[in-house]
Amino acid sequence: MPDNSIQTAQNVTITRNTASIIKRGAAFLIDILIYISYFTLTSLLLSFFDIRNTISLSMLSIIYSLPILLYHVLFEVFNNGQSIGKASLRIRVVKLDGSHPDLGSLMIRWLLRILDITLTTGGLAIVMILLNKNGQRLGDLAARTCVIDENPRTGAQNTLIAHLPEDHQPKYEQVRLFSDEDMQKTKRLFTNAEKTGNHKIKIALAQKLARKMKVEPEEKPHFFIQRVLADYTYYTSQDSI
């Protein structure tokens, strides 16, 4: 799926690691199984305790429908942008700048599920995801969010930073936008600039990374790039645990 990209001074493209429609569909099916499991378990419990015939139809409707209705927004708010299905496939909802979505963004995204998925049986969502370069459905466009795939981050911690301190405190969560390949290319550019003493390449690379991450670095270019590589290594090592 096409992604937004940074074009570095050396014509290296750094891309957002967008979740594929196949993974998003699979995550949705897992969530549907969660719905069915909840419905089945609730029915069994109500029958076992003989409650079904003692409460009103409206209350019964609330018991069955409210948790399912709120499922996505509650999990995405309290589980770092992931429903159970998304967590199973290691994809998550993030803001376009890579940060964690705020409550307002997730509420907008959730409300538009009615149009994106419920009323159109997912048809509108599929069309929008296929046509949009960031893989955004209508709810994502309105909320300025996207769904990223964290699975390709395999083994980068072994090659980007040889010895990351155990007490490393990450500063830029936005590095989650990048893939292993992106960071390997960044490291190669940085290493070559170090060997040749080409400070201009480091300045250009740091500016491009900062622009993509939508941050204003306090560090000088050399140390900012090192921080980006270290933070990416930290997050990939944590995600692999």
Q: What is the rounded distance in angstroms from the CA atom of residue 237 to the CA atom of residue 231?
A: 10
pLDDT of residue 174: 93
Q: How confident is the model at residue 197 (pLDDT cuts 50, 70, 90)?
A: confident
Q: What is the rounded distance in angstroms from the CA atom of residue 232 to the CA atom of residue 238?
A: 10
DSSP 135-188: ---HHHHHHTEEEEE-TT--SGGGTS-SS--TT-----GGGGGS-HHHHHHHHH
Q: What is the rounded distance in angstroms from the CA atom of residue 72 to the CA atom of residue 15?
A: 27
pLDDT of residue 96: 82
Q: How confident is the model at residue 193 (pLDDT cuts 50, 70, 90)?
A: confident
Contact 229, 161 (CB under 8 A): yes
Element (H, E) at 15: strand 13-15
Q: How many CA atoms lie within 13 A of 8 on its CB side?
A: 22
**Residue with token string 């992931």:** 82
Q: What is the rounded distance in angstroms from the CA atom of residue 143 to the CA atom of residue 89?
A: 22
Task: Provide the whole-model pTM.
Answer: 0.61
Tokens of residue 70, six digits? 């709120």
Residue 94, classed as helix, strand or coil, is: strand
Contact 31, 83 (CB under 8 A): yes
Tokens of residue 43, six digits? 């029915």
Q: How confident is the model at residue 228 (pLDDT cuts 50, 70, 90)?
A: very high
Mean predicted confidence (pLDDT) in 20-26? 94
Given a cut of 80, whether residue 7 has pLDDT beyond it is no
Element (H, E) at 76: helix 57-78
Tokens of residue 222, six digits? 């050399």
**Residue with token string 């390949």:** 181
Q: Which is nearest to 120 in space by CA: 130, 108, 128?
A: 128
pLDDT of residue 9: 39
Q: What is the rounded distance in angstroms from the CA atom of residue 137 to the CA atom of residue 221?
A: 36
pLDDT tens by residue, 68-113: 999 999 999 999 899 999 999 999 998 887 778 999 999 999 999 9
Q: Which is nearest to 110 in space by CA: 163, 160, 71, 149?
A: 71
pLDDT tens by residue, 111-166: 999 999 999 989 999 999 999 888 999 999 999 999 998 775 444 444 565 457 77
Phi and psi at residue 130, in whole multiples of 5°? -70, -30
